[in-house]
Each structure stands twice: as structure tokens, then as C-alpha cells.
Amino acid sequence: MLVKAVIIDDEQNNIDNLFALLQKHCKQVSILATAKNAEEAELMLLQHMPDLVFLDIQMPGKNGFELLQSLHDRMFEVIFVTAYDQFGIQAVKFSALDYLLKPVAVEELKKAVQKAIDKVLLKSKNVQLENLIELLQQQQHKEEHRLALTTLKETRFVFTKQIIHCISSNNYTTFYLTTSEKLIVSKPIFEYEELLSGYGFIRCHQSHLVNKKYIKSWIKEDGGYLLLENLTQVPVSRNKKETLKKELGELF
């Protein structure tokens, strides 16, 4: 894994030395930028959004601790690099990933970088997990969406997941539900095609709209038709076959 990093130190020779050590011994680290004071550093951090910052403590103007305090949002890990060992306790308070003394020892640097790689990788996995949870929650909310179906007797509010398929007859659409009910609505099927497309419904025929989750199989003989879980046979029109293949790609 490649870790994006920035070096902040007020002395160019320190920057050069650390840069050379990282290039030689820690090839997983990519140095995006360097800065010699807090003002430059703030710009570099905003511009590059690094995973890791190598930060000197003693600098003219704001020191390293003051720089961190001035930042509104700190998403990166920090490895302090300093010539003064009395800052160790303060470094811990600032949640430093590690604390290296100058001149930097290669083995200590390698250990600190490995910690950074582990931490960044963990963050990446956590973000992926959060994205998955959000996606699942959105899907769960979709499952709770209902459609208002107005029949001659009533307006029924039906969960989209309860609709198995729909059949059109002129300007009427019949909804077949998981409860074995049939609801006839005086609207043409095309008005529901767009409404239900985001819920896994496929227009497989001019007169038929099917919920993908209830498709049991695609029978290729007799001109081709879909067999639903309730054993209903739904025709597949010739001009819909390619679209249907793409929609059901995971079955091929």
C-alpha cells in the first residue's frame, strides 16, 4: 500500500535527510510535498490531503503542536521528528503515531512507517465498511417505500417488495401481490415502469412488468418466457431480450 506523506521541518538539510531515508528504506511512502513553517504547512495539508505527516516540533512562528491545534480537521497520522526528547509526553497528548529523535535511526523509521501503513489500511477498511452499511441502509429504506394504488373500491398503499408483477390491458394495469391479491388500477403500465425501475422491476414485454427478485428462471423454448416463483409464465418480447440479458447479467 502507498502512503501519501508530507514533511514539515524548518531546516532543509533535515528534510533532505529524511526524504533520502524514506526513498531508500520505506518505498511504500510517497512524499507529496515539504514545508518549512506552519503557514506553508497549512497550505500543503489542504492541497494534498496526506495520510501521514512527518512533523518537526521546534519551528519559527508556530511550533508543531500549535500547528496541529490550529487545524480544524486532522485526518492524517502524525510522526513527530525532533532533536528534543522532552516533548515525548506532549506528543502522546496529540495522539502521535510515533515520536522519532534526530538523527533518525533507520530501524525506528521503518517501525513508525509500518505503524502508519497499518493505521491507514485500517481507516480505509473502516470507510469501506461505512459505505457498505450506508448502502444497505438505503436499500432497507427502499424496501419500506410504498406505492399508492387506486382501485374502484379503495386506495391501497402497497410495499414495492410485495409486488410480483404487473400486467397491462389497454389503459388498466393489474398488480399481482405476494399476498395472492390482484389489484386493478385504471392507469396504463408505462406510468409505473419509470416509478418502479429503481426498485428492481423490468419491462420484459409491452404488457408485462416484473420484479426481478421473483424471477425463478428464463425458459428459452417456446419463444422464451420468464418463470416466476409463483409459477406464473411471463412472455419475453424479441426487442426486450438484450435489455433483459443486461438486467439479469448475474444469471448468465
pLDDT band at 252 (very low <50, low <70, confident <90, very high): very low
Q: What is the pLDDT of residues 210-230, one digit of tens each?
A: 999 899 988 887 778 899 999
pLDDT band at 60, cuts 50/70/90? confident
86 vs 15, residue with greater confidence: 15
> Across residues 14-24, what is the average pLDDT?
96
Mean pLDDT computed over 42-55: 93
**What's residue 127's pLDDT?**
66
- For residues 116 and 51, the answer to whether their CB atoms sit within 8 Å is yes
Q: What is the mean pLDDT of residues 42-49?
A: 92
Judged against a pLDDT cut of 50, whether residue 251 lies above it is answered with: no
Q: Indicate whether 122 pLDDT > 50.
A: yes
**Tens-digit pLDDT profile for residues 68-112:** 888 877 889 999 998 876 766 566 656 678 888 889 999 999 999
- Judge whether 32 and 50 are in contact, CB under 8 Å: yes
Write down the pLDDT at residue 238: 83
| pLDDT tens, residue by residue, 144-203 | 678 889 888 888 899 888 999 999 998 899 999 999 999 999 988 988 888 888 788 989
Helix (H) or strand (E) holding 165, with range, is: strand 163-169
Higher pLDDT, 135 or 205: 205
Instruction: Note the pLDDT of residue 214.
Output: 92
For the chain, give percent helix, strand, coil, nearest 5. 40, 30, 30
- Mean pLDDT over 203-213 rounds to 91
Alpha-carbon distance values, 244 to 176, 233, 235, 237 (Å): 21, 15, 12, 10
Q: How far apart are CA 159 and CA 161, in angstroms?
A: 5
The pTM is what? 0.53
Nearest alpha-carbon partner for 236 in 228, 246, 226: 226
Strands 146-150 and 155-159: antiparallel
Q: Which pLDDT score, from 0 to 100, does residue 124 have?
A: 73
pLDDT at 32 over 70: yes
How many percent of the chain have pLDDT more than 90? Answer: 42
Q: What average pLDDT is seen over the chain?
A: 86
